[in-house]
């Protein structure tokens, strides 16, 4: 459930304009077939009495799925945070009177309501079955690479988005990175080096695939993963996301540098609720070039299939996740 303690960190958040807009701090594969290489900083679940710092605990919040529309007419799914449903024993994160659900048109009552009041079960927990409010989950991850299907539109004059306003804006601000062309198995990708913590947001089906790894390994923070954007095999055009164990080597970034950046991360419940609308996340200035070379030499030619399980037990280690923040498996922060 959403975290409720007061958040007191300073210097890492903003109101969200320009380069620190929230969407630029999220892990977001652009095209179907692209993927990201990440390592989880947040543990799978929030263990009772655990030693995980509160700014790293995963967030579980209720949102109303609402259809939005861009000025160009393109429709998209908008996720509206429900202030009525997101609360725990300490109360609401946001006052219910500020619930954005009440601003949505076309409803006699806010869509998170049933029979004129917030939809809740007999034990007081939110009822996501009778209302249109559904859970979404937020995790901090260390984002190493993005593997794109085409070159950076900002620098590729032949790309259809080269003249898009956002691409022009980035060229004007000097953001003109050329992505390295690499082979992963038999496929060609353009690898963008991200090298900083970012926010991973997911729906329940994707989190269920993550649960499989938490149950198998006892933790999710001690391995490198790939986050894939895929087309549903039903042919109905649905997009889904899959999390897989990765064989791709990642650079060693250094314990002190990693810990210093992690310590500045804001709490995920404050981001989920919209109280924090922009982030200034520091990236790691240098990469391990030998590790980059090794990453391409060892890129997996095939990826394992993952079968998701709907086990209701959320196994999570009581160990401090920072004790196992290495490159792969049981390496510690000294090797990250």
For residues 77 and 197, what is the distance between their CA atoms, to the nearest angstrom? 25
Of 240, 238, 221, the closest CA to residue 306 belongs to 240
What sign results for the dihedral spanned by CA atoms 29, 148, 142, 248? positive
3-class secondary structure, 256: helix
Among 152-161, 259-268, 276-285, name the one with the lowest average pLDDT: 276-285
Neighbours of 205 (CB within 10 A): 12
3-class secondary structure, 165: helix
Q: Which element (helix H / strand E) includes 14?
A: strand 13-14
Provide the mean pLDDT of the chain.
74
The 8-class DSSP code of residue 267 comes to P
The 8-class DSSP code of residue 111 comes to T
pLDDT tens across 168-197, in order? Answer: 998 998 888 999 999 998 999 999 999 999
pLDDT of residue 317: 35
- For the record, the structure tokens of 50 come out as 């655990």
For residues 327 and 334, what is the distance between their CA atoms, to the nearest angstrom? 9
pLDDT tens across 18-48, in order? Answer: 556 777 889 989 899 999 999 999 999 876 6
For residues 328 and 252, what is the distance between their CA atoms, to the nearest angstrom? 11
pLDDT of residue 246: 94
Q: Residue 226: CB partners within 8 Å, gap ≥ 6?
A: 35, 36, 37, 38, 243, 244, 245, 246, 248, 303
Interval 84-100 mean pLDDT: 69
pLDDT tens across 233-251, in order? Answer: 776 778 889 999 999 989 8
pLDDT of residue 152: 93
pTM for this prediction: 0.75
pLDDT tens across 53-86, in order? Answer: 889 999 988 887 777 777 777 777 778 887 777 7
* Residue owning tokens 């007191």: 8
Whether 334 has a pLDDT exceeding 60, the answer reads no
Whether 7 has a pLDDT exceeding 60, the answer reads no
pLDDT of residue 122: 63
For residues 255 and 326, what is the distance between their CA atoms, to the nearest angstrom? 9
Q: Residue 48: CB partners within 8 Å, gap ≥ 6?
A: none
Of 288, 223, 285, 221, the closest CA to residue 252 belongs to 288
- State the pLDDT confidence band at 134, using cuts at 50, 70 and 90: confident
Q: Which element (helix H / strand E) includes 189?
A: strand 187-203
Among 90-99, 201-210, 302-311, name the one with the lowest average pLDDT: 302-311
pLDDT tens across 311-324, in order? Answer: 333 333 333 333 33
* Residue owning tokens 């164990």: 245
- State the pLDDT confidence band at 285, using cuts at 50, 70 and 90: low
Neighbours of 313 (CB within 10 A): 10
pLDDT of residue 6: 29
For residues 14 and 278, what is the distance between their CA atoms, to the nearest angstrom? 5
pLDDT of residue 151: 94
């Amino acid at each position: 459930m959403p975290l409720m303690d007061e958040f007191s960190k300073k210097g890492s958040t903003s109101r969200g304009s320009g380069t620190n807009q929230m969407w630029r701090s999220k892990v977001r594969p652009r095209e179907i077939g692209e993927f990201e290489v990440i390592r989880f900083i947040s543990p799978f679940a929030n263990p009772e009495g655990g030693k995980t710092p509160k700014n790293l605990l995963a967030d579980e919040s209720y949102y109303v799925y609402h259809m939005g529309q861009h000025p160009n007419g393109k429709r998209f799914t908008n996720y509206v945070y429900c202030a009525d449903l997101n609360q725990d024993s300490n109360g609401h994160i946001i006052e219910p009177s500020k619930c954005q659900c009440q601003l949505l048109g076309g409803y006699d009552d806010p869509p998170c309501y049933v029979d004129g009041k917030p939809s809740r079960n007999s034990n007081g927990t939110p009822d996501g079955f009778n209302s249109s409010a559904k859970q979404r989950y937020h995790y901090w991850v260390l984002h190493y690479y993005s593997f794109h299907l085409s070159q950076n539109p900002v620098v590729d004059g032949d790309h259809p988005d080269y003249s898009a306003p956002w691409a022009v804006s980035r060229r004007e601000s000097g953001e003109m990175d050329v992505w390295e062309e690499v082979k992963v198995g038999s496929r060609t990708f353009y690898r963008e080096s991200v090298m900083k913590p970012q926010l991973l947001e997911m729906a329940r089906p994707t989190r269920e695939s993550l649960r499989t790894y938490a149950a198998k390994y006892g933790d999710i923070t001690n391995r490198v993963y790939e986050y894939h954007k895929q087309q549903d095999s039903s042919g109905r055009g649905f997009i889904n996301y899959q999390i897989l164990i990765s064989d791709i080597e990642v650079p060693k970034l250094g314990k002190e540098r990693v810990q210093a950046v992690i310590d500045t991360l804001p709490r995920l419940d404050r981001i989920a609720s919209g109280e924090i609308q922009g982030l200034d996340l520091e990236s790691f200035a240098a990469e391990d070039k030998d590790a980059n070379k090794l990453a391409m030499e060892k890129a997996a030619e095939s990826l394992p299939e993952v079968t998701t399980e709907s086990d209701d037990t959320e196994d999570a280690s009581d160990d401090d996740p920072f004790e196992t923040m290495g490159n792969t498996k049981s390496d510690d922060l000294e090797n990250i």
